[in-house]
Structure 1
Amino acid sequence: MATREPDLDDFLQKSFLNLDKIDENIYRSTYLWQPKYFRSVFGGQLIGQALVAAAQTVPESQFAHSLHCYFLQGGSSERPVLYHVDRTRDGKTYCSRTVKAVQRGKAVLTMQASFKKEESDPYRHQYKMPETVGPENLLNTVELAKIALENEKLPEKRKAQLGMFIDEPMNMEFRPVDPMHLVRNRNQAPRRQIWIRACGHIGDNVNMHKCAAAYMSDLMLLDVALMPADKKASFATTSLDHSMWFHNPFHANEWMLYEMESPHCGSGRALSLGRLWRPDGVLAISVVQEGVVRTVKDSKL
């Protein structure tokens, strides 16, 4: 990963996953994205950058198969984040890395990531991909947000949130299977399906596709826990931890179905589960995230 391909450079610049190496095992962010309506830097970017840093310290023959993160405090876009990589273990098949993301001398995120060489085994099984409409027949979140903003009855707070999908340079495309996903005009079961892909070329680097998927996986996952809530209520939410398992090869700039559900929310916390499927029905990634979900009692809509 030391030598970047031209098309890889293009995606790294646009998705804010590029890092500067400033010393052995120490990397620095070059840009941090803090969406207009977020209180801190986008957590998916911290996850993606931490995995980029870890991947640059492993042999080219080893690929990320899992990661486990804790968000310790919100990051700011005003100063760079330093990523300190500890080469925890180097084995013949598996190697482990521990990453600490530091800003203003304090840890904002910690990650443990594991990498392994490819191997095959005759025994396999997986869940069946849910039957659903394909992405070619759906509108993306930008198009849906523009339509939703024409609704005069939509609360002002929700209109401000929808503006993120129009104004913010996310460099990823989302196409919800349910076109009413962004409007939130009714209570729903805590389940949703969204087609996602990175916008731009990523090249052939397997680990970089996984970094891009990590970057995208954080957006909207915790939000699924709010689908059964009263639409007049207001909530404060933030991610606590984030785990991913990479099962099968995929390309992050090609469509994948992001199947999400929240089996539990209570005591100020919510758990969300995600599965990313290739269009051919192969399970590519599993995701689990827990986050803070607190009711804001004095909400003003």
Structure 2
Amino acid sequence: MSTLIRPPPVNTSQSPIENLLELTHLHDIDPDLFTNRRPLWHPPGARGIYGGAAIAQTLSAAQKTVPKEFTVHSMHCYFVLAGNSDIPIIYHVERVRSGKSFVTRTVQARQRGRVIFTTTVSFVRQNSGGEKLVQHAVSKPDIPGPVEGMDDLDQGGAMERPFQSQRVEIYNDDSSEPHTKKCRQWIKARGTISPAGGHEAHLAALAYMSDSYFVGTIARVHKLTRFAPTRKSNAKSSIDEEVLKKLLAMDDKDLKRVGYLDQHDIDRIRKLKNGEQLPEEKEEDEKPEIGMMVSLDHAIYFHNPREFRADEWMFAEMETPWADDGRGLVFQKIFSKSGVLIATCVQEGLVRLKQPNESTPPPPTTTTKSKL
């Protein structure tokens, strides 16, 4: 059973992301205990539930324990164990501190008595900075806006995500230096977030979306792939057949907007469209492939927490300053469409390549380290 209590009917007055993230308050057991009201998504090929769900629901649980005049300004999270989508999650909030200007909460997400996710959330009283302020903010890059009806395809197509995303061409993609590249996308929650949800619903939605393609930035700037074609089996692709049909119907311009495809994949799709034979590839020509990629920790700094709507287009820009020893670090800036800096996020992830057989000497081109 994936929820502790039978899920209620979908609330049509709420957006899909509000329905998904809604919590049940277990106040009869403990005033600081909550659980997920609906099943959580397990992305195809992932070790557990989508990490953004744990981030968002721990934030939602913490928000329910602070006065309305306080707003989240930062949260620091650790992914401890993979979440099981078939088991309910229990969220326990600890009221660490309740001061005049700042409030601190820690939240543990548990399954079968084991902690799978933990976060510390800090809230600040609105307008507590005084009349005179130190102010500055980085500007949003000047890039083309989103195009309606051009959302990226979901790999695997298991379910419609509660938010929309559109990839933008990687900045400096031709560079040989991965740390100089920037991966970019437009994101927004589907539908309209209800007035009843308040600013808290927009913040939870932003937290949910902040994990979208985040650690995957490392794979993209190194031109690696998680969805590798099976190159030794008559050059057949491992991409889901229904997804492949959609890809074959797209032109080159639209294919480049699909985030999990690199130029090699696009060339193969083009040949399939033209009825050309796909050549067998030699082992030494094969690119390094991701063996494991999971998030380890996640931090969000909310800069203008009551001055944006998560159901309107937001621009996210990601870059990675470092990767080594099976880990990598990624920074993300999120702006409103009008250019207001909404949030800055940081994530470290486990990024391991598929290793050659012990009896086979490693090829000289498998390293993905940047020449810093």
Normalising by structure 1, we get a TM-score of 0.83
The question of whether the paired residues in 1 share the 8 Å contact of 2:215 and 2:348 is answered with: yes
Measure, in 2, the Cα distance between the counterparts of 1:271 and 1:284.
20
From 191, 200, 204, the equivalent of 2:182 is 191
Measure, in 1, the Cα distance between the counterparts of 2:52 and 2:356.
29
- Structure showing greater radius of gyration is 2
Match of 2:293 in 1: 237
Match of 2:264 in 1: none
Normalising by structure 2, we get a TM-score of 0.68
The question of whether the paired residues in 1 share the 8 Å contact of 2:15 and 2:191 is answered with: no
Residues 169-184 of structure 1: matches in 2 within 5 Å? 169-178=160-169
Residues 137-148 of structure 1: matches in 2 within 5 Å? 139-142=150-153
The question of whether the paired residues in 1 share the 8 Å contact of 2:16 and 2:190 is answered with: no
- Amino acid corresponding to residue 228 of structure 1 in structure 2: V
Q: Sequence identity, in percent? A: 33
- Unpaired runs of at least 5, structure 2: 1-10, 225-286, 358-372
CA RMSD of aligned residues (A): 2.4
Shift of 1:18: 1.1
- Is 2:24 the partner of 1:20? yes
Aligned length: 270
Which region of structure 1 is more displaced relative to structure 2, 188-197 or 103-112?
188-197
Q: Identify, as 1 or 2, the structure richer in strand.
A: 1
From 267, 272, 276, the equivalent of 2:334 is 276
- Amino acid corresponding to residue 134 of structure 1 in structure 2: G
Measure, in 2, the Cα distance between the counterparts of 1:193 and 1:140.
14
- Kindly tell me: are residues 179 and 67 of structure 1, through their superposed partners in 2, closer, same or farther at Cα, counting changes over 3 Å? closer
Deviations 1:236-275 (A, max 9, x none): 1000000001101211111010010011111110000000
Shift of 1:6: 6.6
- Unpaired runs of at least 5, structure 1: 143-161
Measure, in 2, the Cα distance between the counterparts of 1:55 and 1:193.
29
Shift of 1:123: 2.6
Measure, in 2, the Cα distance between the counterparts of 1:187 and 1:37.
29
The question of whether the paired residues in 1 share the 8 Å contact of 2:189 and 2:312 is answered with: yes
Residues 83-162 of structure 1: matches in 2 within 5 Å? 83-119=91-127, 121-136=132-147, 139-142=150-153
- Kindly tell me: are residues 215 and 187 of structure 1, through their superposed partners in 2, closer, same or farther at Cα, counting changes over 3 Å? farther
Match of 1:48 in 2: 56
Q: Which runs of 4+ in 1 moved over 6 A?
A: 184-188
